[in-house]
Structure 1
Amino acid sequence: MLPTSASDEPARPSALWYALGAMLIVGGAAAFVISLGVEGRRIENRIGGMARVTLPEGGVVELSQAGEQTIFYEGSPHGGPRLAYTEIEPSLVVTPRSDQRESRAAPLEVRAVEQVEAYPRGAVNGLSIARFDAPTAGRYRIDGRLLPSDTEHPDAVLAIGQLRLQQMMGRWDGVFGGAVAATLGLVCGTLTLILTFLVRRRQFTTRDD
């Protein structure tokens, strides 16, 4: 059989496919970086908007939404009291407040966190120590104390709000979605580069029927 001429051979893919593969990889990486920035600002705004109270004085906080609330202890990463969750959690008392019959409101159940979450906020770090369920939006009285043996750091700032860091990080419009986009971009871009290279080098062949 006579060899086929160059005109009978299938055309090799354009070098633009290399550019397409590179664009997929870079685009996926850019989507991940953007998602980090968006998620960071979202978490920062949520943290800044939480209600705060200082122990042992306690105080009344205003919760804008009903549902599960997380209590974070905000302390210096280089010092502050040593928190023992089994000791500090029972000392926290959360009582609903209203303009009428404040003294009759029963304290809510305060439970320990299933998994500790943390966040940085300026010179302090927030550490989740307890959760409770707010039946309605409104005012709640927070009382409690630190460990009885702790006398060097008598005050503690608590931040209260609906903040679940792991759930926020797992949203499609956050870091999770950016990670998926980066993975797809890397896989598709790499495959595009490899296939383009093989075809252009005539190492990718097809069989005639």
Structure 2
Amino acid sequence: MTQPLRCLRAERGAADLLVLLPGAYMRPEDFVEAGFFAEVERRDLALDLCAVAVDMATVSDGRAAEAVRQQLLAPARQSHERVWLGGISLGGLMTLEITAGHPDLVDGLCLIAPYPGSRLVTNAIASAGGIDNWAPTAEALRDPDARVWHWLKAPPPDRPVFVGHGRQDRFAEGMAQIAERFLPASRHEVEGDHDWPAWRALWSRFLDTGHFATRSH
């Protein structure tokens, strides 16, 4: 039986819920300590948050993504008008994996420094001359990273997306290739590396994009 996911929540009955998926070896508490929850409060935004703990052992075999879908996203369809999914680094890749498999569960994406996935897939895309020329086999699409990139060939144009990374991030090239699959207004770069200062700057920029109303008093 799948264990219940451990979450930290800040919910006040907003129309929008954002489920935040962590990077590798990251805790939900890290989002709080980095000020993610406080920045929503400071802006008085009508946005509920749910930061999730993910066991790394369950990521590669898909159990983590399925648990997020079953335990959080599907129920959120009943409690919120709009359900956003987002994450940092590996959490960003998981966000894309879940969205590619179940696009009906997700209304918007917040991708902060999304990890581009395995080099096996990204090298195959490069060898093909880019994602538009890449034609993965059915066997290749058994790899969840390949399914993410296959979905990125033609993502829905009407879904609100935020995707950003630090200019000095060691994965910046792959992250830029992800960002290029979305509309220019969705793409953001800040100074910084694959670390919290850059991620905090991107989070602030995401909150200032105007997707969320201010709470009425």
TM-score of the aligned structures, taking structure 1 as reference length: 0.23
The structure showing larger relative contact order (alpha-carbon pairs under 8 Å, at least 6 residues apart) is: 1
User: Normalising to structure 2: TM-score of the pair?
Assistant: 0.22
Higher helix share: 2
The structure with more strand, counted as a fraction of residues: 1
